[in-house]
Structure 1
């Protein structure tokens, strides 16, 4: 292969050329501060408003319900912390799941240290939340349910509509971290009873450093950053106009190409899964086989270490991941894989490959051939594998 095969699109995506082109004037020509009163700068207020409309239309929301942030992690922090503060007179209990992104889990842990109680729901072997367990976890003091739309590691899509219905039946706010799902699959906030939703630009071919939090009208969420009147006094700071324009362009592009892109990615995703399962022994597909993001493939390979696998793949020009990019430096196995019931030794041998609209069948074939070679090489050096073969005989 003449170019790197980039299969880590869950970590970040390439900024689309048309997105870069849309952003450029706001660095060098239309660079005024939107809060200034003169027309040269004030025109950027209208530009920001136009991007809000684009995003709101895709979600079936109102434009004044879209609040720009520096990314998905900030939006997650805002949703949990500000809701906890605003609704603490009603209760101090929050429900989430054990497979959330660390932007949710670490924020929940912070809130626990400050007097709040958090229930972390188990998930099944496919990574799905059990709706009956969710109902049983609800207390009179529950003020928020936060369940991610789709998992960033194993790609499993949650029953969001049903979760939203349960939340609203009990008068509880419902937040979803949709960082991986937004732009990949259709999302309608009213149909799914979503009160707050987090998203990030760089997951859908937009720029890094920009995202948004959807906040339904009537939700009494507090300001997250103080110091100015921006974002209707809820998020102070001079607006990132180039980033907002880039996000709007990326959302518009994602909405226009979603159906065709999903069809292409699902075809290649399923072919990659098929080839790995048929040509490599002792593997396990992680995540739901069908209710998963169009571009997500996650496997555990027995008797190997994921870190060694990633290094050898990199030497062949293949970019993958062993899990979330935010925790890729950790030596601990993925909390998501442990939550779906994998033992440590199998969870350590995991590989996440996330495709894009640019991924080709030729690349998929090259990746599988490379995996076969690398895994055979690593297993030859594994005493665990040697002992297993001695005990159980040769491979299938």
Structure 2
């Protein structure tokens, strides 16, 4: 079968229909800022995608701004909230993606904002009562909580969070990079001030994404040097990437229900087989609970054995999985997300299995066979 790719929370293979869209746009090389025919043609392509995305989200086209990806989008939301919107406090958790955590830490170190971290239980759940109590008092606040966690799959109660933010006049930023295109998100149903998306999480190319900025928020350009994106994000637009993003987003939305049904079946089988093979196995967060986690992510807690390189062992057998976020793969401190769940996680070795619509039951069979071979050599203690 070749390599079995089960690390789709890190990135996803390019959808063939998206590749076709990219090839089509390679002949449309005009600069969208140019006023001549070639420029106008490119501009039309960009605006068609903007309108398509905004319609799906229930937003206005003027609320969608294209970026280089989710990290830039999250940075833009955070830095602009503090710099331009008078935010003096950010309420978040210690298990957000580093695209959120690191900018907050940077601003705290510079004395630009204060941060308060919500208490987490051993599953990574937040306490809405605690959030409400914090919001009752204090300075102008931005609540930054992701829709779904990229390592443990937990779904945050965004509707309730949004209601609390509105009640206490706080801004609400949600890192929706893992959820966008996988679960329904509509700004008419739930109030958000900032949302983010990255194309390569939904079978699009790397290097393109968008940020949703609620109309009425007076933010200044995050990147200086030009008037693109209605003077909010300088730089010549990535027309090929934008059109690819639009196609990927459209496909993901239109086929969401059938993709979810297929992937949930794969995830359920892996959960059952892992429990059969590995005594004492657990799952980090809520990832094994289908109604409380993103259906594409499963974070397995393997009891530690003589083999402390399970992901490497899988790789040697042609199975691509991870120990957590690809953005922290070079860290020697392990996963900050798992540390945030408590000391109990130190007794377990993490393997994140993340699925896409291109995975099949044969992929799951390959993973299970590899796991059986690994545990035949290094059984659990």
Could you state the TM-score of these two structures normalised by the residue count of structure 1? 0.92
Alignment of 1:36-185 (within 5 A): 36-88=34-86, 91-115=87-111, 116-138=113-135, 139-185=137-183
1:9 equivalent in structure 2 = 8
Q: Secondary structure at the match of 2:378?
A: helix
Gaps of 5+ in 2: none
| 277-286 or 10-19, larger mean C-alpha shift | 277-286
2:374 equivalent in structure 1 = 374
State the distance in 1 between where 2:306 and 2:122 align.
21
Q: CA deviation at 1:307?
A: 6.0
State the distance in 1 between where 2:346 and 2:378 align.
15
- 1:310-366 CA distance string (max 9 Å, x none): 11111111000000000012222211112122435335x100000111222222122
| 4-13 or 191-200, larger mean C-alpha shift | 191-200
Q: How many pairs does the alignment contain?
A: 376
Determine if contact 1:95/1:120 at 8 Å carries over to the other structure: yes
Determine if contact 1:30/1:41 at 8 Å carries over to the other structure: no
- 1:120-165 CA distance string (max 9 Å, x none): 2122222222101111222330321110000000111100000011
State the distance in 2 between where 1:259 and 1:136 align.
37
Q: CA deviation at 1:57?
A: 1.6
C-alpha distance 13-145 of structure 1, shift in aligned 2 (>3 A): same
Q: Secondary structure at the match of 2:10?
A: coil
- 1:250-293 CA distance string (max 9 Å, x none): 00100111000000001111111111112211211112113111
2:25 equivalent in structure 1 = 26
- 1:216-247 CA distance string (max 9 Å, x none): 10112221001111000000000000000000
Does 2:230 correspond to 1:229?
Answer: no
2:320 equivalent in structure 1 = 319
1:329 equivalent in structure 2 = 330
Q: CA deviation at 1:379?
A: 4.4
| 320-329 or 114-123, larger mean C-alpha shift | 114-123
Q: Secondary structure at the match of 2:235?
A: coil
- 1:44-64 CA distance string (max 9 Å, x none): 111101101111122111111
Decide which of 238, 260, 272 is 1:262's aligned counterpart. Answer: 260
Q: Secondary structure at the match of 1:343?
A: helix
Q: Secondary structure at the match of 2:192?
A: coil
State the distance in 1 between where 2:357 and 2:265 align.
11
State the distance in 2 between where 1:117 and 1:305 align.
43
2:191 equivalent in structure 1 = 193
State the distance in 1 between where 2:163 and 2:342 align.
28
Q: Secondary structure at the match of 2:295?
A: coil
1:390 equivalent in structure 2 = none
1:388 equivalent in structure 2 = none
| 353-362 or 65-74, larger mean C-alpha shift | 353-362
Determine if contact 1:306/1:351 at 8 Å carries over to the other structure: no
State the distance in 1 between where 2:330 and 2:376 align.
25
Determine if contact 1:164/1:174 at 8 Å carries over to the other structure: yes
Could you state the TM-score of these two structures normalised by the residue count of structure 2? 0.95
Determine if contact 2:4/2:366 at 8 Å carries over to the other structure: no
Determine if contact 2:85/2:217 at 8 Å carries over to the other structure: no
Q: Secondary structure at the match of 2:226?
A: coil
State the distance in 1 between where 2:57 and 2:358 align.
25
1:356 equivalent in structure 2 = 356
Gaps of 5+ in 1: 386-396
C-alpha distance 195-154 of structure 1, shift in aligned 2 (>3 A): same
State the distance in 1 between where 2:218 and 2:42 align.
28
